[in-house]
Amino acid sequence: MSINEQNRRRFLQYTSAGVSAYALSSLLHSTRAAPIGLPQLHHPAKAKSVILLYMSGGVSHVDSFDPKPLLTQMQGKPMPGKIERTQFDAVGNILGSPWKTDRYGQSGLELAGLFPRICNRADDLAVVRSMTANFSEHAQANFFLHTGFPFLGHPSAGAWIAYGLGAENPTLPPYVVLRTQQAGIPHGGVSMFGNGFLPAAAGGSIFNLSGRSAVPNLAPRRAQAEQREALRLLKTLDTRFADRVAAEQAVRDSVKNAETAFAMQQAVPELTDISGESQATLDLYGVESQNPHTSQYARQCLMARRLVERGVRCVELTCSSVGIGLGGGANPWDQHADIFKGHGAMAEQVDQPIAALLQDLKQRDMLDSTLVVFTGEFGRTPFAQGNGRDHNPFGFSLWLAGGGLRGGMTHGATDEFGYHAVEQPVTVYDLWATVLHQLGIDHERLTYRYSGRDMRLTDVHGNVWKELIA
The pLDDT mean for the chain works out to 89
Cα torsion 23, 204, 183, 310 to 10°: value is 80
Report the pLDDT averaged over residues 39-54: 98
Angstrom distance (rounded) from CA 182 to CA 185: 10
Contact 340, 107 (CB under 8 A): no
The residues with which 320 forms a beta bridge, in sequence order, are none
The DSSP output letter for 19 is -
The secondary structure element, H or E, covering residue 177 is: strand 175-179
State residue 371 phi and psi, 5-degree precision.
Answer: -95, 115
The end-to-end CA distance of the chain, in Å, is 56
pLDDT band, residue 260 (cuts 50/70/90): confident
Per residue in 114-156, pLDDT tens? Answer: 999 999 999 999 999 999 999 999 999 999 999 999 999 999 9
Average pLDDT over residues 63-86: 96
User: Would you tell me how many other CB atoms lie within 10 Å of the CB of residue 220?
Assistant: 15
- Indicate the SS3 state at residue 316: strand
The whole-number average pLDDT for the span 353-373 is 99
Name the helix (H) or strand (E) containing 307: helix 292-309
CA pair distance 393, 318, nearest whole angstrom: 21
Sign of CA dihedral 5, 11, 12, 17: positive
The total of other beta-carbon atoms located within 10 Å of residue 31's CB is 10
Confidence of residue 27 (pLDDT cuts 50, 70, 90): very low
The whole-angstrom separation of Cα 62 and Cα 60 is 6
Of 373, 415, 411, 409, the C-alpha closest to 394 is: 415
pLDDT above 60 for 249: yes
Q: Fold for domain 37-218+264-468? A: Alkaline Phosphatase, subunit A (3.40.720)
- Using CA atoms, how far residue 173 sits from 25, 58, 298, 468, in Å, is 21, 28, 22, 30
Whether residue 256 contacts residue 32, with contact meaning beta carbons closer than 8 Å, is answered with yes
Instruction: Report the pLDDT value the prediction gives residue 13, as an integer from 0 to 100.
Output: 44
pLDDT in tens, 272-288: 999 999 999 999 999 99
Average pLDDT estimate for 328-347? 97
Decide if 187 contacts 250 (C-beta within 8 A). no
Residues sharing a CB contact under 8 Å with residue 189, sequence separation 6 or more, in sequence order = none
What's this model's pTM, rounded to 2 decimal places? Answer: 0.89
The residue among 455, 452, 453 whose CA lies nearest residue 443 is 455
The reported pLDDT for the residue numbered 35 is 58
The full DSSP string for 277-295 is S-HHHHHHHTTT-SSHHHH
What values do phi and psi take at 273, rounded to 5? -85, 105
Q: What is the mean pLDDT of residues 248-258?
A: 64
Residue 399 has pLDDT above 70, yes or no: yes
Within its chain, how far is the Cα of 444 from the centroid? 22
Amino acid at 17: A
- C-alpha 157/C-alpha 154 separation (Å) is 9
**Average pLDDT value for residue range 50-58:** 99
Rg of the Cα atoms in the chain? 23
Q: What whole-number distance in Å separates Cα of residue 167 and Cα of residue 207?
A: 17
